[in-house]
């Protein structure tokens, strides 16, 4: 899938991610790799002026979904079965982006590694791994 096809798919299948305004942007897609950017605002901040953990988790999860769909095609029913995240340092509120890499794409499961970085410094702020279940009709 191209960036435009992915953006169209997300808009059609998951319009709720843009509730309150478009904040997620698919920036790059190639087989086995994707980058998704999050434009943060006050709803993503926690006390102390940093981006909240749930916000970083949501970005990692969405980015994992994007890299898997880029390999499989538009499979709306691929679902997260596990997400493990380590928060490494405090991100500044300027925004974050996530680069995901597909580690394994099997018939029933896909495994992804995610790197969440601050936009202003490129510091790694979180590292995640995710496993997705692939519906039988998509996995072959």
Measured between alpha carbons, how far is 110 from 73 in angstroms, rounded to an integer?
13
* Residue 39 clears pLDDT 80, i.e. is over it: yes
pLDDT digits 0-9 by tens, 41-60: 878 888 888 899 999 999 99
Measured between alpha carbons, how far is 53 from 16 in angstroms, rounded to an integer?
20
The confidence score (pLDDT) of residue 76 equals: 77
Report DSSP state, residue 3. H
Question: Which helix (H) or strand (E) is 4 found in, with range?
Answer: helix 3-13
* Domains assigned to the chain: 3-139 (3.10.129.10)
The percentage of the chain sitting over the pLDDT mark of 70, rounded to a whole number, equals 98
């Amino acid at each position: 899938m191209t960036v435009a096809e992915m953006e169209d798919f997300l808009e059609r299948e998951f319009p709720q991610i843009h509730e309150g305004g478009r904040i997620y942007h698919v920036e790059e897609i190639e087989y086995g790799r994707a980058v998704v950017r999050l434009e943060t605002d006050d709803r993503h901040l926690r006390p102390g002026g940093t981006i909240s953990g749930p916000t970083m988790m949501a970005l990692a999860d969405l980015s994992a979904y994007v890299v898997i769909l880029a390999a499989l095609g538009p499979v709306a029913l691929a679902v997260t079965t596990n997400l493990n995240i380590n928060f490494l340092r405090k991100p500044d509120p300027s925004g974050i982006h996530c680069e995901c890499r597909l580690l394994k794409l099997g018939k029933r499961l896909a495994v992804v590694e995610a790197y969440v970085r601050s936009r202003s410094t490129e510091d790694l702020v979180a590292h995640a791994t995710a496993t997705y279940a692939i519906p039988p009709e998509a996995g072959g």
